[in-house]
Structure 1
């Protein structure tokens, strides 16, 4: 029950999940409203194209609603006209369906239509098989489409227009959590005496983080797109996301430094024995503290590790004459660069606030 409750609480406090729920509700609202207007208010004879067009128009961003949505609406209009022409020429027959599909797929390859071959083919097929007898029906279907387009645009623009800032911020938050957890695991493994397979696992996890970074770049670009034509005040900051690009570049550096650190460790299997306690204990402690501060987005904690690392380096320079100095230097530089990069990320706080305060209610014992 506790695991189930934690998962539900995580969902309820996740702004990305709520954004997806809101988009689903808006899509349904637009389709239902278009159907009601076409069927009940205007009493059009076959109003199914109104909710169909509304579904096509409601996209994840306002900009895409206008750009991609208009392409799909154009494809729908082309499909209605094409189905009417083919139906009047050949009637409802196997040859008519074959001709319709061939022409629809060819027209869908035209760049201006945005490769909407499937939309043209499916819409045209529905129109052809449900009736094409007269010009009044053609006008009615174009009217249905116009209603769906108008309703979809209004709903997506007026009802809390989507802004993907939280989606991008959450992706960045997960990456710094991943970097922090990896650093903590590396510190724990070094303290217990890691093996070559541990080092290989750490390197593989940095590759997973690279994939997460690629995904985060895509989400930041989507967030920038979501700010275009968006009337919300918060959209202004996302129209020029240089700050986000800078954070992603710092995370990329941190991941690269972590991989370099792991490769250095992989070349020296007997870590504690070869390093000596004077280096191993303080450095491993700082590595773990850096990981914990990174996961918690604790800028002060990372700054403290940076200060300790500087003091530690000066002490080693004055007292240590070990042949392992090249290794010490590599590990110190890697950790310093990680701390500097993730410190800037923690200072920026891309999430911009606490999670939503929504939780599953806990029933008190003895209640009821």
Structure 2
């Protein structure tokens, strides 16, 4: 029983230690706070007749960064105001009916395609939907009278969302991007190490297709890292925490990801070359096989834990190429050997660039 409790506590601790999970929890809390405060101001303080617009707009406006909250907030105001005015015009022309409801939704969905509304385009239609259905039995005059209240409720939602996102620990998201990059390093290094281990086994025990599939998985991780880096760069804009927690290394992350993409490409090339040589039943020269496999394993270790001191590895690669160039090896295998050495040389260059531009490892 104590072991099970420790296991649960370990899982909870691991979940909580993730910067991504911490940010998600913080954003959820901020959304709830912003919507609740907006509702209280609109309903209990100002007594607006359609106060529901305030918390709804607040929920739409709270985003992962102060920068995005501001710009998406501006789009939300525009979209909601358009939806309110659209509902007013339609009700004025057709009255409160099924036809006015359908027409408002149609026009709102068409306007959602207009570039100026961008990601908040559908908000035009949903606002018109809410406004018409909540005031379905109201007279046209009363609908017009409600217009200032609706716009004021919208403004309350946006302002409260901005204040909450500014005041309550606006996230920087640096650590999420950093952890993702570190995970990619480890996965790529582990793959190179596993390839080296399997290359020491008989050909029928090598799993080249699995190597290639793993490179695809790492590529997906890199794509996710690009999104995290974009969010981290964006989250620093207009963020008061940036002055207290500068993170210049975030500017290096795009360069690191570009080099890791190249490393994955070279690793996949090695896997494909090995697979093709197996299919052609080409037997590697024992001298090349042993030394190249050792170098591949060492490169994997350096990728998993990048180190700037790579002179010895570079020297060993050059020595391998120089020594074999004087040997009487099969001409059929030299294109394979040359390509494998060139791929590994590129991976070493990647390690060098990543190590010199590294953020502090988590």
TM-score normalised to the size of structure 1? 0.83
Distance of aligned partners of 1:306 and 1:9 in 2 relative to their CA distance in 1, 3 Å threshold: farther
Which residue of 2 is the match for residue 15 of structure 1? Answer: 19
Give, in angstroms, the shift of residue 75 of structure 1.
0.9
Which residue of 2 is the match for residue 365 of structure 1? Answer: none
Worse-superposed segment, 297-306 or 6-15: 297-306
Which residue of 2 is the match for residue 349 of structure 1? Answer: 358
Distance of aligned partners of 1:194 and 1:179 in 2 relative to their CA distance in 1, 3 Å threshold: farther
Distance of aligned partners of 1:76 and 1:253 in 2 relative to their CA distance in 1, 3 Å threshold: same
Aligned counterparts of 1:67 and 1:86: Cα–Cα separation in 2: 28
- Is 1:176–1:342's contact at 8 Å kept on the other side of the alignment? no
Aligned counterparts of 2:115 and 2:128: Cα–Cα separation in 1: 19
Which residue of 2 is the match for residue 142 of structure 1? Answer: 151
Which residue of 2 is the match for residue 274 of structure 1? Answer: 283
Which residue of 1 is the match for residue 248 of structure 2? Answer: 237
Aligned counterparts of 2:311 and 2:63: Cα–Cα separation in 1: 43
TM-score normalised to the size of structure 2? 0.84
Which residue of 2 is the match for residue 118 of structure 1? Answer: 122
Selected match of 2:329 from 322, 334, 340: 322
Selected match of 2:41 from 26, 37, 42: 37
Worse-superposed segment, 302-311 or 174-183: 302-311
Q: Deviations over 1:152-193 (max 9, x none)?
A: 111112322232323332332232222112112211211122
Aligned counterparts of 1:23 and 1:50: Cα–Cα separation in 2: 18
- Is 1:109–1:116's contact at 8 Å kept on the other side of the alignment? no
**Is 1:208 aligned with 2:217?**
yes
- Is 1:303–1:343's contact at 8 Å kept on the other side of the alignment? no
Give, in angstroms, the shift of residue 328 of structure 1.
3.4
Give, in angstroms, the shift of residue 147 of structure 1.
0.9
- What number of residue pairs does the alignment pair up? 349
Distance of aligned partners of 1:344 and 1:10 in 2 relative to their CA distance in 1, 3 Å threshold: farther
Which residue of 2 is the match for residue 154 of structure 1? Answer: 163
Q: C-alpha root-mean-square deviation of aligned residues, in Å? A: 3.0
Task: Show structure 2 runs of 5+ residues with no match.
Answer: none
Give, in angstroms, the shift of residue 248 of structure 1.
1.7
Distance of aligned partners of 1:202 and 1:3 in 2 relative to their CA distance in 1, 3 Å threshold: farther
Please list, as runs of the form range in 1=range in 2, the aligned pairs for 1:238-277 lying within 5 A after superposition: 241=251, 243-269=252-278, 274-277=283-286
Worse-superposed segment, 325-334 or 15-24: 325-334
**Is 1:299 aligned with 2:307?**
yes
Selected match of 2:77 from 62, 68, 73: 73
Give, in angstroms, the shift of residue 235 of structure 1.
6.2
Distance of aligned partners of 1:7 and 1:180 in 2 relative to their CA distance in 1, 3 Å threshold: farther
